[in-house]
Amino acid sequence: QPANSRLDDIIKRGTLRVGMTGDYRPFTYLDKTTSKFTGFDVDMAEALGKALGVKVEFVQTAWPQLMKDFEADNFDIAMGGVSITLDRQKKGMFSTPIMREGKTPIARCADKDKYETIADIDKAGTRVIVNPGGTNERFAKANIKNAEIKMWNDNVTIFDEIAKGNADLMMTDSSETRYQQKQHPGVLCAVHPEKPFDFAEKAYWLQRDIALKAFVDQWLHIATEDGSFKKIYAAWFD
Ligand SMILES: O=C(O)C(=O)Cc1ccccc1
């Protein structure tokens, strides 16, 4: 282990800096009035801080700025529903995966059967709404040639746009379609979330440091085996 590992720095500093967007329920949500983050990955970050014996400082970022903020070393680790991508892997390291995901549609329940396949979706006249900066934008740009792509910057209100009829559907990670279906009962429906169009995994994205990665992986392994991961998961996803 190198003498100056970031793991040592974090412990010496007494603070773990966690980057998150605050716009991706139930992983991370920033309440603008109280300036407090809540969510699955907030609880996970607090548990990681406790395991390290340090305080957790949340640093707000946004999907379009995530890469720049990571490279600027504004945080030690990005949490909050971050997917593994090879572009991100080039700049840092990922923990072992915590969740298996993939893009699936969410649409108004009345239209649910119209959007089973990419071919069903990619038709002139269909309005696909997309939050920019992350894997949703990349997926939409790679797969949508004929349908209209509507960019919507706010991933918190984006689902209301579909509910109101200002867009027809969104393709996003299956865990989010399941969650938002519950937030809009009878209005928005997840389309085959068990059968996503692609494959992705959620993990924690950390600055390049083998000692920090080994710690996070070991902590995740113990949390999985002792049931504490399951408990936090159930509180936000079940
Ligand atoms: O780029 C990522 O890692 C994402 O997960 C992007 C994203 C953001 C908000 C909802 C779904 C996916």
Kindly give the distance from the C-alpha atom of residue 15 to the centroid of ligand 1, in angstroms, as a whole number.
Answer: 26
What local confidence, expressed as pLDDT, does residue 141 receive?
A: 97
Instruction: Determine the Cα–Cα distance for residues 148 and 184; give it in Å rounded to an integer.
Output: 24
- Name the residue with the closest Cα to ligand 1, atom 9: 24
Q: Say how many C-beta atoms besides its own lie within 10 A of residue 187's C-beta.
A: 16
pLDDT, residue 3, reads 64
Ligand 1 close to Cβ of residue 80 (< 6 A): no
| 83, 99, 138: residue to mutate for ligand 1 pocket, most atoms within 8 A of CB | 83
With a 6 Å cutoff on the Cβ, whether 63 touches ligand 1 is yes
Regarding the beta carbon of 83 and ligand 1, being less than 6 Å apart is answered yes
Mean pLDDT by 10 residues, the chain (238 residues): 83 98 98 97 98 98 98 98 98 98 97 97 98 97 98 97 98 97 97 97 98 98 98 96
Report how far ligand 1's centroid is from the alpha carbon of 104 (Å). Answer: 13
Burial profile 90-118: b = 16 or more Cβ within 10 angstroms, e = fewer: eebbbbeebbebbbbbbbbbeebebbeeb
Residue-level pLDDT at 4? 84
CA–centroid distance, 53 to ligand 1, in Å, is 29
User: The tokens 């990005």 sit on which residue?
Assistant: 78
Q: Report ipTM for this prediction.
A: 0.96
What is the DSSP track for 179-214?
Answer: HHHHHSTTTEEE--TTS-SS-EEE--EE-S-HHHHH
Distance CA(167)–CA(127), nearest Å, equals: 5
